[in-house]
Amino acid sequence: MASPRKKLSRLVNLRTQQKGIRQVLGDLEADIMEQVWQESPASVRDVHERIAKKRTIAYTTVMTVMSRLAEKGLLKREQRGRAFLYAPVQTRDEFCSDAISTVMRGLLGGFGEPVLSNFVETVGSEDEAKLDELIRLIEAKKGNAKPSVTSP
């Protein structure tokens, strides 16, 4: 099986108007992944029942999207009887980290220096404490220490 990181690079289509994982996944894909991350392994029926509490959706739609998520390498599936049980290939944190890495590699490869300067400018204008954290992470990286990353 190919590594999730290689498959993810083909998946990322950044939608900056969205928040969180919805920037790289469609709304239904994101809802399904959140459900499977919360409780897995999960059948299509399990996921459909939980999503259907929040919105009207066909069972077959959930089944199709879960099958496509498996084809993309985000879910793995195992047949049990007549049903498939799905589980995430990566934790939510691993998925987010890989998506961010893919986006950053793409931006750096395409734009280089302007990406770095705009990143620093954006971080600095948002929150000076984040700029200090960025400096700390850079210094730790230069010292070959493994920096600890704090979640926002």
Question: HEC string of 109-134?
Answer: HHHCHHHHHHHHHHHHHHCHHHHHHH
Tell me how far apart the alpha carbons of residues 46 and 35 are, in angstroms, rounded to a whole number: 9
Cα–Cα nearest to 25, from 66, 78, 57, 56: 66
**Fold entry, domain 4-88:** Arc Repressor Mutant, subunit A (1.10.10)
Query: In a structure prediction context, what are the per-residue pLDDT tens digits for the chain, which is 152 residues long?
Result: 444 444 554 556 777 777 888 888 989 999 999 999 999 999 999 999 999 999 999 999 999 999 999 999 999 999 999 889 999 999 999 999 988 888 888 888 878 788 888 888 888 887 888 888 888 888 898 886 555 555 44
Domain ranges, ordered by start, for the chain: 4-88, 92-142
Phi and psi at residue 64, to the nearest 5°: -65, -45
Q: What SS3 state is found at 47?
A: helix
Distance of CA 71 to the CA centre of its chain: 16
